[in-house]
């Protein structure tokens, strides 16, 4: 049975209404409780997030250009500048989890409007090769702490999820000169998760579905866990290991939309999403830690 059929079957059963994968409405007000800072969070697709507090904005993994299959494999990366500026205009800083195109190919466009860029040495070098000023480029390491306006961000060494077949031909480091010949050849580089603190609220952003145990275990519990769903199957006990340390009050899925489909179209599930299995995990975390599943509509600023 395909996911669509399974979803339809569950919806057709009286008393059982499985959360849809991509809701188009925001969660109910005060979904984070009464003590949250005044601001908004926007899930921009893939692992992209924008946080706006008191008019100051930062983003993580800015990517909205979504080249199609042919462009991803056969043409140089080309950022959709209009779309990038609409999503990430006025951000003071962008934090990048790793340098694959679905996390990093729009970063130089974000930097063109003055944002500081934080990421691995590979991310920094890719931006440098696109003409981003040295003064805007900042290499992070495990444990790096950065303060931008009301936001404090810690870099956490992490790992990439295991993508079947693709991980055998993955490019790890940037070589030669210039840029890779297609988005698919953008190198991974080092992988980071991030912890964000703002106004007494803490957020862990698991940008990819691998785990580096010691840096994760160093973390304190958080209010919100954003967790990448793509390629999580290769990481044993992925959610249990994240939740055992982070004990999140709220779990929000991300990187679960198919990034080979233009954002002109409604979001579709990424390959091997296995939404029912994710819902089982979310229910387990609710029983263990009281974690609530919250979903954000793509591209909509949601107050918190």
Give me the residues that bind Zn ion (CB under 5 A), please: 100, 102
| Residue closer to Zn ion (CB basis): 58 or 104 | 104
Q: Where are the alpha helices (DSSP H) in the chain?
A: 3-12, 69-74, 81-88, 101-104, 107-112, 121-128, 166-169, 213-217, 238-246, 275-289
Name the residue nearer to Zn ion (CB basis): 182 or 247.
182
Which two three-digit tokens encode residue 151? 């936001």
Q: Smallest distance from the beta carbon of 100 to Zn ion, in angstroms?
A: 3
CB of 191 to Zn ion, least distance (A): 8
Closer residue to Zn ion (CB): 96 or 282: 96
In 10 A of CB 220, how many CB atoms?
11
Smallest gap from residue 95 Cβ to Zn ion (A): 15
Q: Give whichever of 95 and 304 is closer to Zn ion, judged by the CB atom.
A: 95
Q: By C-beta, is 66 or 202 nearer to Zn ion?
A: 66
C-alpha distances in Å from residue 106, one per residue of 24, 62, 264, 272: 25, 6, 17, 25
Q: How far is the CB of 224 from Zn ion (least distance, A)?
A: 20
Q: How far is the CB of 251 from Zn ion (least distance, A)?
A: 19
Edge-to-edge, what's the strand order for the sheet holding 39-45?
Answer: 137-139, 116-119, 93-95, 56-60, 48-53, 39-45, 301-303
CB closest to Zn ion, residue no: 100
Q: Give the shortest CB-222-to-Zn ion separation in angstroms.
A: 21
- Would you say the C-alpha torsion 165, 6, 267, 63 has a positive or negative sign? negative
Hey, CA dihedral for 174, 177, 183, 185, is it positive or negative? Answer: negative
Shorter beta-carbon distance to Zn ion: residue 263 or 291: 263
The beta-strand segments (E) located in 3-101 are 39-45, 48-53, 56-60, 93-95
């Amino acid at each position: 049975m395909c996911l669509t059929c399974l979803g339809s079957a569950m919806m057709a059963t009286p008393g059982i209404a499985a959360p849809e994968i991509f809701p188009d409405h925001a969660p109910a007000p005060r979904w984070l409780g009464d003590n949250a800072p005044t601001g908004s969070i926007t899930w921009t697709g893939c692992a992209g997030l924008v946080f706006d507090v008191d008019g100051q904005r930062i983003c993580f993994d800015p990517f909205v250009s979504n080249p199609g299959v042919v462009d991803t494999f056969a043409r140089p990366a080309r950022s959709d500048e209009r779309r990038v500026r609409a999503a990430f205009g006025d951000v003071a800083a962008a934090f990048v989890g790793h340098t694959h195109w679905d996390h990093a190919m729009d970063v130089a466009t974000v930097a063109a409007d003055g944002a500081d860029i934080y990421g691995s040495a590979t991310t920094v070098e890719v931006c440098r090769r696109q003409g981003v000023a040295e003064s805007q480029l900042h290499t992070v390491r495990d444990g790096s702490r950065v303060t931008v306006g009301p936001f404090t961000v810690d870099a956490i060494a992490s790992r990439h999820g295991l993508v079947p077949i693709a991980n055998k031909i993955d490019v790890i480091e940037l070589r030669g000169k210039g840029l890779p010949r297609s988005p698919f050849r953008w190198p991974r580089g080092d992988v980071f998760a991030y912890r964000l603190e703002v106004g007494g609220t803490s957020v862990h952003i698991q940008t990819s579905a691998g785990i580096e145990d010691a840096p994760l275990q160093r973390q304190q519990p958080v209010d919100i866990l954003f967790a990448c769903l793509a390629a999580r199957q290769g990481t044993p006990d992925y959610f249990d290991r994240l939740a055992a340390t982070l004990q999140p009050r709220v779990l929000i899925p991300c990187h679960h939309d198919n990034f080979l489909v233009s954002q002109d179209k409604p979001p579709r599930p990424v390959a091997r999403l296995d939404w029912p299995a994710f819902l089982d995990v979310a229910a387990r975390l609710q029983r263990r830690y009281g974690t609530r599943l919250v979903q954000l509509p793509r591209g909509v600023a949601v107050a918190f």
